[in-house]
A = this chain, B = another copy of it.
Amino acid sequence: VTYAQAEAQNAKVNRKLDTSRFMAEPITDATVLLGDKANMRHRMELMIMEIQAEFCRALESEEMCGKKFKVDRWQRVEGGGGITCVIQDGDVFEKAGVNISVVTGWLPPAAVQQMRSRGKDLTEGVKLPFFASGVSAVIHPRNPHIPTIHFNYRYFEVETPDGQKQWWFGGGTDLTPYYLDEKDARHFHQTLKSACDEHDTTYYPKFKKWCDDYFRIKHRSESRGIGGIFFDDIDSPNQEAAFNFVTGCAKAVIPSYMPLVQKHKNREYGNNERQWQLLRRGRYVEFNLIYDRGTKFGLYTPGARYESILMSLPLHARWEYMHEPKATSKEGELMKVLKNPKDWV
């Protein structure tokens, strides 16, 4: 083929992929992505690209002065890369980060050991080649009546020395309100439950509890927020079904959250509400830096893109010594639910 023919072919493939709807060009070359459409790595990459773009557009459309996401497409020396989208100091979103990454590399023996302890059948004491891709987002709105949302959906592959491949999915979505609106809580959990129920009615109760257990600020005996769903190591009943389940959860983010943004974004608030929001953001920082597995794993990985990992931190946070809201106040009402997580549906 001549250069001109190759160019034309390339253009055709790119048109077919229609990358214009994404936040940036995919990490994997479009010809490769379309060359093997059945490959789960490629299906996952296209799915997370789409989720990222849809969610970013939905958030941008709520900004009142036209603030847009800053888009950074980055590459990793060790293999792969990502696209980090951030809004900072928007009028509705004080800080919003939506990140996708598609990376390959070698799992260090310590990470292999950690996976073995979770029940994976992997060879001990050796480095193993891995593939990981996922989308993750943390949205910190300015108005204290709008909750913070976090979600993450990921796909993982490890190859064992005998050439066998192990794969699994993980993820979750959870909500961190500053003031408790029971209707919001029910709507949010019901939306996640419906997404789960379509695939397996045992999922929601199991993953709701997993979420409550995971997002616990242990030294304070309180939860980060009102939970949602959280799961890992999903490899059944088959790859197709697992992918569809994860896709369904990721698609449920917008309907679970955007109505809450729209409902509260014009509500009035004063300095008391703002200070309380900042204190709770301090708790968010405590959880993410002390307990969150993803953050720790990320920061301890040499050469990690720490800016993409730490984009989850709020623009502002506050720590007061011995702050305790009155039990009968709005703030105290939230604390009751954070101390003792409850069922919402």
Residues in chain A within 8 A of chain B (CB atoms): 70, 72, 84, 86, 88, 95, 97, 218-220, 278, 282, 285-286, 289-290, 296, 299-300, 304, 306-307, 310-311, 313-322
| Closest B residue by C-beta to A285 | B285
- Does A320 contact B316, Cβ atoms closer than 8 Å? no
- Does A310 contact B299, Cβ atoms closer than 8 Å? no
Task: Tell me, in angstroms, the Cα distance from A313 to B319 when the chains sit together.
Answer: 6
List chain B residues, Cβ under 8 A from A318: 315-317
- Does A316 contact B317, Cβ atoms closer than 8 Å? yes
| Closest B residue by C-beta to A296 | B290
List chain B residues, Cβ under 8 A from A311: 321
Task: Tell me, in angstroms, the Cα distance from A299 to B315 when the chains sit together.
Answer: 25
A303 to chain B, nearest CB (A): 10
Task: Give 24 CB contacts A-B under 8 Å.
Answer: A72-B322, A86-B321, A86-B322, A88-B321, A95-B321, A219-B299, A219-B304, A220-B306, A278-B316, A285-B285, A285-B317, A286-B310, A289-B289, A290-B290, A290-B299, A307-B322, A310-B319, A313-B319, A314-B319, A315-B319, A315-B320, A316-B316, A317-B317, A317-B319
Task: Tell me, in angstroms, the Cα distance from A304 to B290 when the chains sit together.
Answer: 15
In the A-B complex, list the 8 residue pairs whose CB atoms are closest, starting with the nearest: A289-B289, A313-B319, A219-B299, A219-B306, A86-B321, A317-B317, A311-B321, A289-B290
List chain B residues, Cβ under 8 A from A290: 289-290, 296, 299
Task: Tell me, in angstroms, the Cα distance from A290 to B297 when the chains sit together.
Answer: 12
A196 to chain B, nearest CB (A): 32
List chain B residues, Cβ under 8 A from A306: 219-220
List chain B residues, Cβ under 8 A from A286: 289, 310
A305 to chain B, nearest CB (A): 10
